[in-house]
A and B are shown apart, each in its own frame.
Chain A
Amino acid sequence: MFSDGDAAENGDVWFRVLTQKDHIKRGRIHHSAFTGNAISSPDPNKNRPWSRELSGRLRSKAGTIKNIEDFAVAFCDKLTKAGGGTKTFCGVMYAKVCAIRKPYRDILTLGVFFTPLKADPAHADVTFSNCIGETREAREALMLWLTDQVEGLHHPGQVHHLPEANDRVSG
């Protein structure tokens, strides 16, 4: 039974809803998708053992592709109502947990942890342990690397290619 803060299984797939169509280019994720507050500090009240996180969801907890798409559309509707213009579900970035759980240049370790929320029981974060350098140079180097670790799928038309967790067939 998974609990909040547990590491995701290696066979699982982490994915993140994208609201900007240009953040996916020919199956690649544009580095802009990682800028701003995308990679942020964890909630200090949760005492997480990582220093930064990129929020997303776990494929194994998110249900069918239709469930995933419906959730993403509702998520964007909710964001739109919160202000700042219309948000549209444009696709997902994703990575297999086993592929993204790796060290970066011996200074940073990436992980994927299950961090369910009331609004999203499938919520999970890609986490960055140790430290991300605060310099612009360090962030730039991370961007050059990180963009190779994830892939992108457009919506509509491609999200059904999102891999299953453990290669199980989605219901």
Chain B
Amino acid sequence: MDSPSKDSPRIEMRNVCKQFGQATVIDHVSLSVAPGTIYGFIGPSGSGKTTVIRLLTGVYGPSEGDIRVFDKAPTKWSRRDREHVGYMPQFFVLYPTLSISENVDFAASTYGMGWWSRRAPKRQLLEFVGLWEDRNKLASSISGGMQRRLELVCSLIHNPDLLFLDEPTAGIDPVLRATIWEHLNHLRNEKKTLFVTTQYVTEAEYCDRVGLINEGRIIADGTPDDLRRKAYGGQVVTLTYARLNDALRDRLEAMPEVVDRTMKFISRDTAQMVVNDAATAIPLILRQLEDAGIPMESVRITEEKPPFDDVFVRLIEQAKPRPMEPSGEEGEARLTEQTGEEVDRARAA
């Protein structure tokens, strides 16, 4: 492996397309992954996540565009280059009639690691994922979660710098998913670079950077906060006050820090609005309320972190072409279509 500069991107895709026959599966995808980070590649089933991993590992070559991994096209990797890469596929590909320990031995041997050199990392990794005590159990007799952890060990046994994990948390319970992300964070802290695909959009929270893919196209790429900001047009703050009314909404919406017409009533005493920057907007909003004679002890205002499910849906919606919409930006920025009067009418009903 040519040693790339310390801070140069581990992965770089520029305008990559992949076609199978007439079908375009990957459509002008560009992304970049910095060393020592977790890049979450999120998208629904069939969106092209696995194809991107196959492109990045050299299993497929691009139809168009340029791919560099470790500053080298993956299709040109040498054997030594491949020793720096770990790959955990989407489905369980270990051998059910072998024990946990034997599966790890096999995986290590395929990377040319002899008995002596794999002995210590095997124990360390199996302990790391909590499988050391069960190492003599057959892979067929362990649970799905243990199988995923075993696969993780197999992909890590040769101590790769760059790890491709294709849906490592698919089909397992939330507790175990959290455990696996804990392991991944630990690996990131060890300066490894991780490219992780997932269908669970909420897992974007665990990533340093997230790419959202839908129908083969990247629809958003950035940190989790960047994506929220993009989805909502700013940051969301929640205001709680017992006597909320339309006059107060107009006053707040007139503030330059608050994005126009984004305030909505969640309930009789709670409203949300989108601000350009929560850290600067919250003190200004409080001052505005104080100026309006509202006692500060009766007001509570906090920055909201909308769930990534909503962020993802909004980004998908935004990415859809809207030929009939007269002026997009105003409408897109609103949290809901409901006005304060509509909320009141709904309450009355």
A binds B: no
Residues of A participating in the B interface, judged by any CB pair closer than 8 Å: none
